[in-house]
Amino acid sequence: MENKIAIIGIALEDKEAATAVNDLLHSFAGKIIARLGVPYRNASVNIITIVIDATADEINALTGKLGKIKGVAAKTMSLKLPGDAE
């Protein structure tokens, strides 16, 4: 299966979830290209953006596992890169 580039947006509404999220992201460290974390204090939420280079199955597995953590929401956007087959 071919690798894809995807962006995963993660919102943590529960600070207690941070350890579980970080542990999970660490297990995918070899696939993660970039990570940006932003604490948005006005809304009491922490936002993490991940750029990942992985198979569709791996991307879906990570997003699904993130979504099962209490107080965490995750959404994925796949990128269409130049040269990708239609």
pLDDT above 80 for 83: no
Reported as half-sphere exposure (CB side, CA atoms, 13 A), residue 4 has a value of 16
pLDDT above 60 for 5: yes
Average pLDDT over residues 67-72: 95
- Check residue 2 and give its pLDDT: 85
Token output for 14: 């529960």
- The pLDDT tens digits of the residues spanning 6-50 come to 999 999 998 889 999 999 999 999 999 999 999 998 988 999 999
Span 3-77: which CATH code? Answer: 3.30.70.1150
Between the CA of residue 1 and those of 9, 20, 57, 59, what are the distances in Å? 23, 28, 9, 12
**Domain parsing of the chain, residue ranges:** 3-77
pTM assigned to the model: 0.88
- Check residue 15 and give its pLDDT: 85
